[in-house]
Amino acid sequence: MQQKMIANCPLCQNRSLNVITTTQKIPYFGEVLEFASICKNCGYRDSDILCLESKEPMRYSIDVHLETLNARVVKSQSATIRIPELGLKVEPGPKSQGYISNIEGVLNRFEEVIESSKILFKDKKTRVKIKEISKKLKEVKNGKRKVKMILEDPLGQSFIDHPEVSKRKLTEEEIKNLKTGFIEL
């Protein structure tokens, strides 16, 4: 079902923001709300997809090696992904987006962020650490290093699909310590 409305633009503040919302079912995510906003006055644009269904809060973990690099990863906007051995973690924020990929694709995303962070850090110690983590990620992708990938989703909208994955419900304490990406008022 599609709905249209006019709202105030967050950029120019004029009442010229066309907002279109659509609800539909998407494989792996269930019912979602898609929205697109375009300001006729200043050209501001935004779009997002929000999952409307929540399931049991879950934790998935898998040992990453050559045979699991193709494991399907469905990450919603509320999920946290960690690779403890490398000190890597991505947590949801207000603009966090969901995606469907595989483990190798998730590793590539980490690699891209690490590579782009080089321009932020000029001190030698941090740059050496960045280079070290990049090297270790390449070793994981080439099968020379094994790590564990952990995906936790307090809204239960994410999962890793592979015979070697272990999964369990999150405890109340774990749920309390996870971010959802939604702004708390």
- Over residues 114-171, the pLDDT tens digits come to 988 888 888 899 889 999 999 999 999 999 999 999 999 998 989 999 999 999 999 9
Place of tokens 């990406």: 181
List strand residue ranges (DSSP E) for 40-185, in order.
45-51, 58-64, 72-75, 80-83, 88-90, 99-102, 147-153, 159-161, 166-169
- Please check the confidence at residue 185 and state whether its pLDDT lies above 50: no
Q: Is the confidence at residue 25, as pLDDT, over 80?
A: yes
Q: Which residue has the tokens 């809060």?
A: 57
CATH of domain 58-176: 2.60.120.1040
pLDDT at res. 138: 95
CATH of domain 2-51: 2.20.25.420
53 confidence band (pLDDT: 50, 70, 90) = confident
Whether residue 109 has pLDDT greater than 90: yes
Q: Ramachandran region of residue 100, left (φ > 0), alpha (ψ -120 to 50) or beta?
A: beta
Gap between the Cα atoms of 57 and 152, Å rounded: 8
Task: Give me the phi and psi of 125, to 5 degrees please.
Answer: -60, -45
CA distance 176 to 179: 8
Mean pLDDT of 90-116: 90
Nearest CA among 69, 102, 68, 61 for reference residue 85: 61
Radius of gyration for the chain, computed over Cα atoms and rounded to the nearest angstrom: 19
Q: Does 51 have pLDDT greater than 80? A: no
Determine the pLDDT at residue 117.
86
Dihedral sign of CA atoms 139, 142, 147, 152 in order: positive
Confidence of residue 68 (pLDDT cuts 50, 70, 90): very high
Q: What are phi and psi of 109, to 5 degrees?
A: -65, -45
Q: Is the dihedral of CA 100, 103, 105, 110 positive or negative?
A: positive
Q: Would you list the domain boundaries of the chain? A: 2-51, 58-176
- What pLDDT was estimated at residue 49? 76
* Chain centre to alpha carbon of residue 126: 25
DSSP category for residue 145: S
**With 80 as the cut, is the pLDDT of residue 29 above it?**
no
pLDDT range class, residue 21, cuts 50, 70, 90? very high
> pLDDT category, 33, cuts 50, 70, 90?
confident
pLDDT of residue 182: 62
The values of phi and psi at residue 46, to 5°, are -155, 150
95 has pLDDT over 80? no
